[in-house]
């Protein structure tokens, strides 16, 4: 019976594992292989160049700028997004005033607020980027128009054209577009925490601040850690690429003066704009290592004893 059971498990997993290896693992292997070649991406012919692409990458000033910006995204965006989402979710589920028949409740209208926060998730990230590109327009954009309407006409920044502001503007868009997802995620986790815990804490004189750090956060830690990693991967991947390419200035985005260039966009530019596919895969390998390192660090720093209830 045991032998038959293991054979059944292997047979059941063989097809999914084969598909995963073919469509996920194999492209990574190919990318690493092509990073040691001079392949242009425009011709099937290429030759081996050893570590030349990696040496070039280490001497590439734009690569270091893109790495710096991607690291900024990986640190700042999860911190701000997860922090805001935890605050909103706590207020929507636990942080309201006591009501008749319910000692623990969210703020009034919490169901409506959840829909409002989640609304950006139904929009394509490309549409979000276009909307904010119009809003940031220094001449006719909504933001400068509001500033002018409240008497701050002298304060008219060139939001996406200012190297000191452009990166911040992009990060604001990424936070706005993703925080709603984590609000819903954390709300689902908080809904599973027994209300008796909060009621007992309130009877002992604990306030909302104490209940959050002593009850909610410890019991929700696994979800928070997963959300942190997921947000970091979004910040290092397609989300940042789409927003930066669409919103920012330059031949393929990333401007002004590479002030918003990130690693995914630089990979795209080298592969499809400059016809340097091998060098693009080299940068892609660096991005892969950065993503794995980020996930490993978050899991290491966030490791703690699992709490059950």
For residue 12, being part of any structural domain is answered with: no
On whether residue 36 sits in a domain, the answer given is no
Question: What does the pLDDT look like over 76-130, one tens digit per residue?
Answer: 999 999 999 999 988 888 766 666 555 566 777 777 888 888 888 888 899 999 9
244 in any annotated domain:
yes
pLDDT of residue 166: 93
Q: What is residue 259's predicted lDDT score, i.e. its pLDDT?
A: 92
Q: Establish if 70 belongs to a structural domain.
A: yes
- The reply to whether 66 falls in a domain is yes
Task: Output the CA–CA distances (angstroms, integers) from residue 25 to 21, 22, 166, in the order listed.
Answer: 5, 6, 36
Question: Each residue of 88-126: b (16+ CB within 10 Å) or e?
Answer: bbbbbbbbbeeeeeeebbbeeebeebbeebeebeeeebe
Three-state DSSP string of 82-117: HHHHHHHHHHHHCECCCECCECCECCCCHHHHHHHH
Residue 250: left if φ>0, alpha if ψ -120 to 50, beta else—which one? left
CB 266, CB 254: distance < 8 Å:
yes
Q: What is the pLDDT of residue 257?
A: 87
Tally of domains in the chain: 1
What integer pLDDT is reported at residue 304 of this predicted model?
67
Evaluate whether residue 235 is within a structural domain. yes
Report the pLDDT value the prediction gives residue 3, as an integer from 0 to 100.
Answer: 59
Identify the pLDDT of residue 91: 86
Full residue range of the structural domain in which residue 67 is found: 59-301
Any domain includes 293: yes
Which residues does 255 contact at the CB level (< 8 Å), separation at least 6?
166, 248, 249, 261
Distance of alpha carbon 224 from alpha carbon 307, whole angstroms: 14
Confidence at residue 12, expressed as pLDDT on a 0 to 100 scale: 79
**Alpha carbon separation from 28 to 21, 35, 39, 171 (Å, rounded):** 10, 11, 16, 28
The pLDDT, as a whole number, for residue 176 is: 93
| Residues paired with 48 in a beta bridge | 37
DSSP state of 1: -
Question: How many Å is the Cα radius of gyration of the chain?
Answer: 24
Which sign does the torsion angle of CA 77, 82, 87, 88 carry?
positive
Which pTM value belongs to this model? 0.88
Query: What is the phi/psi pair of residue 95, to 5°?
Result: -85, 5
The list of the chain residues with pLDDT below 70 reads: 1-5, 95-105, 304-309
Q: What is the CATH number of the domain that holds 112?
A: 1.10.3720.10
Question: Given this model, what pLDDT does residue 76 score?
Answer: 94
Tell me the helices (H) and strands (E) count for the chain, helix number first: 15, 0
């Amino acid at each position: 019976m045991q032998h038959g059971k293991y054979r059944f498990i292997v047979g059941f997993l063989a097809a999914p594992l084969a598909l995963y290896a073919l469509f996920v693992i194999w492209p990574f292997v190919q990318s690493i292989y092509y990073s040691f070649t001079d392949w242009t991406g425009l011709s099937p012919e290429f030759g081996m160049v050893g570590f030349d692409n990696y040496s070039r990458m280490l001497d590439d000033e734009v690569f270091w700028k893109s790495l710096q910006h991607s690291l900024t995204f990986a640190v700042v965006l999860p911190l701000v997004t997860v922090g805001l989402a935890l605050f909103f979710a706590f207020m929507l589920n636990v942080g309201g005033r006591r009501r008749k028949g319910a000692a623990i409740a969210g703020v009034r209208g919490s169901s409506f607020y959840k829909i409002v926060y989640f609304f950006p998730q139904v929009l394509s990230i490309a549409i979000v980027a276009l909307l904010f590109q119009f809003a940031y327009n220094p001449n006719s954009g909504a933001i400068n128009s509001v500033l002018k309407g409240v008497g701050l006409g002298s304060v008219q920044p060139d939001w996406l054209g200012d190297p000191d502001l452009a990166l911040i503007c992009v990060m604001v868009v990424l936070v706005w577009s993703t925080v709603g997802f984590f609000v819903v995620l954390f709300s689902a986790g908080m809904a599973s925490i027994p209300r008796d815990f909060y009621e007992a804490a309130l009877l002992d004189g604990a306030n909302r601040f104490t209940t959050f750090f002593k009850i909610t956060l410890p019991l929700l830690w696994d979800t928070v850690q997963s959300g942190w990693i997921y947000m970091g991967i979004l910040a290092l991947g397609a989300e940042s690429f789409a927003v930066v390419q669409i919103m920012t200035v330059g031949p393929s985005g990333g401007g002004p003066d590479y002030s918003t260039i990130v690693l995914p966009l630089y990979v795209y530019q080298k592969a499809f704009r400059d016809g340097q596919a091998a060098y693009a895969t080299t940068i892609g390998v660096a991005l892969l290592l950065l993503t794995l390192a980020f996930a490993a660090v978050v899991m290491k720093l966030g490791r703690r004893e699992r709490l059950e209830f």
